[in-house]
């Protein structure tokens, strides 16, 4: 039998998690019209409620924050009502769920923006790659650099979305500062070439993130807020000339908030863990007094080793949760994991979403 520590309860701020297995945020692009979560989404999350904690798919804080077709929002009354279906279903199944708050910045397309406008970013630098729109993939465009006077409005959008998440019955929120989206774009020198008080020095590049964190924690209290970073990930054409120094500074600056957890994508998101050889993850952990949630390429053995060696407090699993709604049970028994179907990851209906069977059922069907 595997070592039990992954399956022991964990005190996360005021919450007691049933175990240390976290469901990582996973965009599945299955919201209804108006970017409203629906009963199908509630079924999907409830199926996975044996995770100690679920982090919702990224959910945009405003229409400007949207970058992919069919992703849910968290800023209208209809969206709040849709998310209420999800949180009620998860709670009825004795689970816990945080909402991941998202602004994509330049990783968008005019098709997805208010009045077909340009996506916004710290600087007008076009990303490599393509946007997923309702009409298929379209090349990214050169975004519009935000005026300094627009930044308080985006912080207000975060505050509003955080309040909507509270109203929708979530247990907390996660600020998405990873994977090359708006907050990450401000942090890194490849995407932030501003010369005002939001660019240049580490202090300046970190300012926006800290202001957002201040606004969100004012709504929720510090210990119901987590924050996700991906220091060495090149996701969405992002990079920094010195990620160790940058994220050392970021984590130290965040530590004053007493956040519930720091969620760290270790390596290239969904790719090699050694994206920047020699990056010192333990230095981040040591600089932060809240829980350290590790993610990226974890399996049972890696997860148990990280907990045992004190390198993490919680382990987030992403892809394994897609095809294994009962992942916790499978890990606990050392059972084989089902493989996900790439073709049904983004968009569509129940197929490849809520029809992955749990283990007992899967065994009976053979
Ligand atoms: C289909 C899919 C959707 C994802 N959506 C999100 C998301 O909405 N927010 C986020 O922070 N990361 C997202 N990620 C990244 C995962 O949370 C996770 O970091 C990545 O899959 C690596 O973890 P794993 O090896 O356990 O899968 C997504 C990954 C996949 C495969």
Please give the Cα distance from 336 to 333 (Å, whole number): 9
Of 217, 167, 173, the C-alpha closest to 56 is: 173
- The reply to whether ligand 1 has any atom less than 6 angstroms from the CB of 248 is no
- The reply to whether ligand 1 has any atom less than 6 angstroms from the CB of 151 is no
Q: Is 270 helix (H, G, I), strand (E, B) or coil?
A: coil
User: Do residues 181 and 100 lie in contact, with contact meaning Cβ atoms separated by under 8 Å?
Assistant: no
Measured over the CA atoms of residue 72, residue 74, residue 76 and residue 77, the dihedral's sign is positive
Q: pLDDT 10s digit of each residue in the chain, 366 long? A: 455 699 999 999 999 999 999 999 999 999 999 999 999 999 999 999 999 999 999 999 999 999 999 999 999 999 999 999 999 999 999 999 999 999 999 999 999 999 999 999 999 999 999 999 999 999 999 999 999 999 999 999 999 999 999 999 999 999 999 999 999 999 999 999 999 999 999 999 999 999 999 999 999 999 999 999 999 999 999 999 999 999 999 999 999 999 999 999 999 999 999 989 999 999 999 999 999 999 999 999 999 999 999 999 999 999 999 999 999 999 999 999 999 999 999 999 999 999 999 997 666 655
Start-to-end Cα distance in the chain: 25
The CATH homologous superfamily for domain 4-365 is Aldolase class I (3.20.20.70)
Point out the ligand 1 atom lying closest to the alpha carbon of residue 100.
9
Point out the ligand 1 atom lying closest to the alpha carbon of residue 297.
25
DSSP 72: -
The Cβ-side half-sphere exposure at 320, using a 13 Å CA radius, reads: 23
- The reply to whether ligand 1 has any atom less than 6 angstroms from the CB of 296 is yes
pTM: 0.98
**pLDDT of res. 1:** 46
> Does the annotation count 298 as an active-site position?
no
- The reply to whether ligand 1 has any atom less than 6 angstroms from the CB of 57 is yes
What ranges do the domains of the chain cover?
Answer: 4-365
Catalytic residue among 68, 181, 198, 261: 181
- Transcribe 32-45 into DSSP letters: BTTTB--HHHHHHH
Counting ligand 1 atoms within 8 A of each CB, the residue from 21, 27, 37, 303 with the most, and so the one to mutate, is 27
Q: Of all helices (H) and strands (E), which one includes residue 127?
A: none
- The reply to whether ligand 1 has any atom less than 6 angstroms from the CB of 224 is no
- The reply to whether ligand 1 has any atom less than 6 angstroms from the CB of 25 is yes
Count the Cβ atoms, other than its own, within 10 Å of residue 33: 8
- Rg of the Cα atoms in the chain: 19
β-pair partners for 263 = 228, 293
Counting ligand 1 atoms within 8 A of each CB, the residue from 22, 23, 25 with the most, and so the one to mutate, is 25
User: Do residues 291 and 314 lie in contact, with contact meaning Cβ atoms separated by under 8 Å?
Assistant: yes
Compute φ and ψ for 320, nearest 5 degrees.
-60, -30
């Amino acid at each position: 039998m595997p070592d039990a520590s992954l399956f022991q309860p964990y005190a996360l701020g005021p919450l007691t998690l049933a175990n240390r297995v976290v469901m990582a945020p996973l965009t599945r692009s299955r919201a209804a019209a108006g970017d409203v979560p629906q009963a199908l989404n509630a079924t999907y999350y409830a199926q996975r409620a044996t995770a100690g904690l679920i982090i919702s798919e990224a959910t945009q804080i405003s229409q400007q924050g949207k970058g992919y077709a069919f992703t849910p929002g968290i800023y209208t009354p209809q969206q709040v009502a849709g998310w209420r279906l999800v949180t009620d279903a998860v709670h009825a199944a004795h689970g816990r769920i945080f909402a991941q708050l998202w602004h994509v910045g330049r990783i968008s397309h005019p098709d997805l923006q208010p009045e077909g406008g340009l996506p916004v970013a710290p600087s007008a630098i076009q990303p490599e790659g393509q946007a997923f729109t309702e009409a298929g993939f379209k090349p990214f465009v050169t975004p519009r650099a935000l005026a300094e006077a627009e930044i308080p409005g985006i912080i207000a959008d975060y505050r509003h979305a955080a309040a909507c998440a509270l109203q929708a019955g979530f247990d907390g929120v996660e600020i998405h500062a990873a994977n090359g989206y708006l907050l990450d774009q401000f942090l890194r020198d490849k995407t932030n070439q501003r010369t005002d008080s939001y660019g240049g020095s580490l202090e300046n590049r970190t300012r926006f993130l800290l202001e957002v964190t201040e606004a969100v924690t004012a709504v929720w209290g510090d210990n119901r807020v987590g924050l996700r970073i991906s220091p060495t990930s090149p996701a969405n054409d992002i990079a920094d000339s010195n990620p160790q120094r940058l994220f050392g500074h970021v984590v130290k600056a965040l530590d004053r908030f007493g956040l519930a957890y720091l969620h760290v994508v270790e390596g290239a998101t969904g790719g090699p863990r050694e994206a920047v050889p020699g990056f010192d993850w333990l230095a981040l952990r040591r600089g932060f007094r809240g829980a350290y949630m590790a993610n990226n390429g974890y399996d049972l053995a890696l997860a148990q080793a990280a907990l045992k060696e004190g390198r993490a407090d919680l382990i987030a699993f992403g892809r394994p949760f897609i095809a294994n709604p009962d992942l916790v049970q499978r890990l606990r028994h050392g059972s084989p994991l089902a493989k996900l179907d790439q073709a049904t990851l983004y968009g569509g209906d129940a197929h490849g979403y809520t029809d992955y069977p749990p283990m007992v059922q899967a065994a009976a069907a053979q």
